[in-house]
């Protein structure tokens, strides 16, 4: 073998190992050299059988890694939340998500692509006797752990031996299991939502007849003037409005579906009783209910949040299908106006916004007023200003016809920084830092006399009893141990749900302070 061919072989081998290392990271798994070695043995074994088979294997895994890498590098392996996000995300949201990825994600994917090309240059082993050795290395390293568990009685059934942790195998198993679990949950949700709820409400007179609940999208509290943002006055209406400001409200989770199902329906353990939700409670209490949404209803299945919304007496989704492109949140105002004009009794009007969803520049109908740190952040600040204007417009409409109205506004979840401190600074979803959960919560009314700040913690996991108190509805299923609307300490308000549907202590999460790049 010549020096040139030897060098080519070494470079191609290094390319294969680098490709497999990055592939495992793109799949969302922890780097383990033993699994890289195992996969390399498998690929070279296939190369000894056929160069075409080897290249086909690299191309297939490269494509899968390229497609999933944007998720895997940032959020991990294909668990229920990752697959659920893909199922409930429409095409436009997917493009916006890709546009907001940190630069290092693109670098990983680019290097993986180059290393895949280099790996394809590897020559077919001339010694056929290597095949058995390669297969043995692959099999032992890939299945040793599961085989050991079976021998020690830690797993059941001989089939458990083949539950390898090798990412090339595990990725597809995890994807299928997560998809199957989501499908099972959705079928259960669809069945449960049609069953009778378990509410037995008692209604108190609160002095109001019109309740407007506005659910914001992806708003970090520290980007709002009303909660201390000093770079631009982007909430003039809210900042000047009398009402109750919750300075330490934390969302139930870091994504829309996990957050709102936990906030607006009864949770028992890890199970969400979707039929026992806020809309069903208001219906049972005799309210006229409306759900007006600027978020899509359908992914592959109806989203659990959409399923709850459809139980309202009137439900309207501006973008009902996955392929539909929604518009600015102002499109909802005519439907809110119609709802306010319809009813003479008590009514609950839920308005679900979309305006600050990453990437906000893609949904602004006008340019931002002030450049703040980066173009993405400037658009984000402007999107919050648009939401403040929308809240003002709704309050103005509700004030007509002498209606006794009250409005609550909160965001489903917050966001975290990517490429922080650079000209590409942006914000995206996550569950690893405090601002993923630190969101605005504000209640006002036509007769609010002063501004009150609630400094004690309130968790979105207690949102249902809090909102029922606001609505003046009592029910034995709801926790009444705390006066949620007063600045008193309430037990159990430090919990949030991460993307694995596990309860975590919010106070143990790291900070992600608002730091913007210097404006040139």
pLDDT > 70 fraction of the chain, expressed in percent and rounded: 88
The pLDDT value recorded for residue 338 is 94
pLDDT > 90 fraction of the chain, expressed in percent and rounded: 56
Tally the residues of the chain. 520
Residue 459 host element (H or E):
strand 458-459
* 416 and 495 fall within a common domain: yes
User: What letter would DSSP give residue 220?
Assistant: -
Q: In the numeric block, which tokens belong to residue 292? A: 């007006």
399-453 pLDDT, tens per residue? 987 889 999 999 999 999 988 888 888 888 889 999 999 999 999 999 999 999 9
Which span out of 68-77, 137-146, 225-234, 340-349 was modeled with the highest average pLDDT? 225-234
Q: Is residue 377 part of a domain?
A: yes
**Number of domains within the chain:** 2
Cα–chain-centroid distance for residue 139?
37
CA distance 108 to 68: 12
The pLDDT value recorded for residue 322 is 47
Residue 98 host element (H or E):
helix 91-99
* 226 and 159 fall within a common domain: no
Q: Is residue 391 part of a domain?
A: yes
Q: Is residue 281 part of a domain?
A: yes
Q: In the numeric block, which tokens belong to residue 356? A: 């600050």
243 has a pLDDT exceeding 80: yes
Q: Is residue 270 part of a domain?
A: yes
DSSP state letters, 5-54: HHHHHHHHHHHHHHHHHHHHHHTT----HHHHHHHHHHHHHHHHH-HHHH
199-222 pLDDT, tens per residue? 999 999 999 999 999 999 999 999
Q: Is residue 299 part of a domain?
A: yes
* 171 and 220 fall within a common domain: no
Torsion 477-482-483-485 (CA) sign: negative
The pLDDT value recorded for residue 161 is 47
214: which residues sit within 8 A by CB, 6+ positions away?
Answer: 351, 353, 390, 391, 394, 407, 408, 409, 410
Q: How much is the mean pLDDT over the chain?
A: 87
Q: In the numeric block, which tokens belong to residue 323? A: 């392929």
Bridge partners of 19, per DSSP, are: none
114: which residues sit within 8 A by CB, 6+ positions away?
Answer: none
* 387 and 253 fall within a common domain: yes
Strands 347-352 and 288-293: parallel
19-50 pLDDT, tens per residue? 999 999 999 898 989 899 999 989 999 998 89
* 347 and 400 fall within a common domain: yes
* 177 and 214 fall within a common domain: no
3-state helix, strand, coil in the chain (%, to 5): 50, 15, 35
| Torsion from C-alpha of 16, 21, 22, 26, nearest 10 degrees | 130
443: which residues sit within 8 A by CB, 6+ positions away?
Answer: 243, 244, 406, 407, 408, 409, 470, 485
Residues 484-512, mean pLDDT to the nearest whole number: 93
The pLDDT value recorded for residue 421 is 82
The pLDDT value recorded for residue 72 is 87
CA distance 417 to 514: 8
252-311 pLDDT, tens per residue? 999 888 999 999 999 988 888 899 999 999 999 999 999 999 987 655 455 788 889 999
Strands 416-418 and 405-411: unpaired
**Of 145, 166, 184, which marks where a domain is finished?**
184
For residues 416 and 380, the answer to whether their CB atoms sit within 8 Å is: no
Q: In the numeric block, which tokens belong to residue 378? A: 């400037």
For residues 486 and 343, the answer to whether their CB atoms sit within 8 Å is: no
> What is the 3-class SS of 244-292, one letter each residue?
EEECCEECCECCHHHHHHHHHEEEECCEEEEEEEHHHHHHHCCCEEEEE
* 284 and 319 fall within a common domain: yes
145-172 pLDDT, tens per residue? 665 655 555 555 544 445 778 899 899 9
For residues 373 and 515, the answer to whether their CB atoms sit within 8 Å is: no
pLDDT tier at 95, thresholds 50, 70, 90: low
Q: Which CATH number characterizes residue 394's domain?
A: 3.40.720.10
* 252 and 388 fall within a common domain: yes
* 123 and 27 fall within a common domain: yes
C-alpha gyration radius of the chain: 26
More confident residue, 328 or 392: 392
334-373 pLDDT, tens per residue? 999 999 998 778 999 999 998 787 777 777 777 788 898 8
Q: Is residue 248 part of a domain?
A: yes
The pLDDT value recorded for residue 98 is 66
Find the angle CA(156)-CA(160)-CA(163) to the nearest 5 degrees: 150
* 231 and 374 fall within a common domain: yes
For residues 186 and 459, the answer to whether their CB atoms sit within 8 Å is: no
pLDDT tier at 323, thresholds 50, 70, 90: very low
Q: Is residue 513 part of a domain?
A: no
* 258 and 316 fall within a common domain: yes
pLDDT tier at 100, thresholds 50, 70, 90: low
* 143 and 267 fall within a common domain: no
> What is the 3-class SS of 368-437, one letter each residue?
CCCCECEHHHHHHHHHHHHHHHHHHHHHHHHCHHHCCEEEEEEECCCCEEECCCCCCCEEECCCCCHHHC
Q: Is residue 468 part of a domain?
A: yes
Long-range contacts of 85-90 (CB under 8 A, 24+ apart): 85/255, 85/257, 87/179, 87/182, 87/299, 87/300, 87/301, 88/256, 88/257, 88/299, 88/303, 89/299, 90/296, 90/299, 90/319, 90/322, 90/323, 90/324, 90/325
463: which residues sit within 8 A by CB, 6+ positions away?
Answer: 252, 263, 264, 410
- Asked, as a colleague might, if the bond just before 359 is cis with ω within 30 of 0, I would say yes
Domain that holds residue 488: 210-508
Torsion 460-317-270-189 (CA) sign: positive
């Amino acid at each position: 073998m010549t020096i040139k061919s030897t060098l080519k072989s070494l470079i191609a081998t290094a390319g294969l190992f680098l490709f497999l290392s990055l592939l495992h990271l793109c799949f969302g798994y922890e780097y383990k050299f033993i699994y890289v070695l195992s996969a390399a043995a498998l690929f070279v074994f296939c190369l000894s059988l056929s160069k075409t088979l080897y290249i086909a294997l690299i191309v297939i895994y490269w494509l899968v890694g390229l497609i999933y890498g944007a998720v895997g590098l940032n959020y991990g392996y294909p668990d229920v939340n990752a697959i659920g996000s893909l199922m409930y995300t429409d095409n436009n949201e997917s493009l916006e998500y890709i546009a907001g990825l940190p630069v290092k994600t693109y670098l990983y994917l680019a290097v993986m692509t180059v290393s895949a090309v280099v790996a394809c240059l590897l020559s077919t082993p001339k010694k056929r006797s290597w095949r058995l050795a390669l297969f043995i290395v692959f099999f032992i390293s890939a299945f040793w752990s599961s085989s050991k568990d079976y021998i020690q009685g830690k797993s059941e059934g001989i089939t458990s031996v083949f539950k390898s942790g090798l990412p090339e195998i595990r990725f597809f198993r995890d994807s299928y299991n997560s998809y199957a679990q989501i499908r099972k949950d959705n079928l259960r949700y669809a069945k449960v939502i049609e069953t009778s709820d378990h509410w037995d409400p008692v209604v108190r007179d609160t002095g109001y007849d019109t309740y407007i609940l506005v659910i914001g999208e992806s708003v970090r509290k520290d980007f709002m003037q009303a909660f201390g943002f000093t770079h631009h006055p982007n909430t003039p209406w809210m900042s000047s409005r009398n009402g109750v400001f919750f300075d330490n409200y934390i969302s139930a989770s870091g994504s829309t579906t996990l957050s709102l199902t936990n906030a607006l329906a009864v949770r028992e353990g890890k199970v969400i009783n979707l039929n026992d939700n806020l809309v069903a409670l208001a219906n049972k209490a005799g309210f006229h209910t409306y759900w007006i949404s600027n978020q899509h209803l359908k992914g592959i299945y109806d989203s659990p949040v959409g399923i709850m919304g459809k139980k309202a007496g009137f439900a309207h989704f501006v973008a009902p299908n996955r392929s539909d492109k929604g518009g600015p949140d102002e499109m909802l105002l005519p439907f809110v106006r119609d709802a306010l004009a319809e009813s003479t009794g008590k009514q609950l009007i839920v308005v679900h916004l979309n305006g600050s969803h990453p990437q906000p520049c893609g949904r602004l109908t006008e340019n931002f007023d002030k450049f703040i740190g980066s173009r993405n952040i400037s658009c984000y600040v402007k999107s919050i200003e648009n939401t403040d204007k929308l809240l003002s417009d709704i309050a103005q409409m509700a004030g007509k016809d002498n209606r006794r109205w009250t409005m609550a506004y909160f965001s489903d979840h917050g966001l975290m920084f990517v490429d922080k401190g650079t000209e590409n600074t942006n914000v995206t979803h996550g569950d690893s830092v405090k601002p993923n959960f630190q969101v605005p919560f504000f209640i006002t009314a036509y007769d609010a006399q002063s501004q009150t700040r609630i400094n004690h913690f309130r968790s979105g996991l207690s949102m249902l009893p809090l909102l029922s108190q606001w609505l003046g509805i009592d029910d034995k299923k709801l926790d009444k141990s705390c006066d949620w609307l007063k600045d008193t300490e309430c037990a159990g308000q430090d919990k949030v749900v991460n993307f694995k549907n596990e309860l975590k202590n919010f106070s143990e999460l790291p900070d992600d302070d608002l730091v913007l790049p210097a404006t040139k």
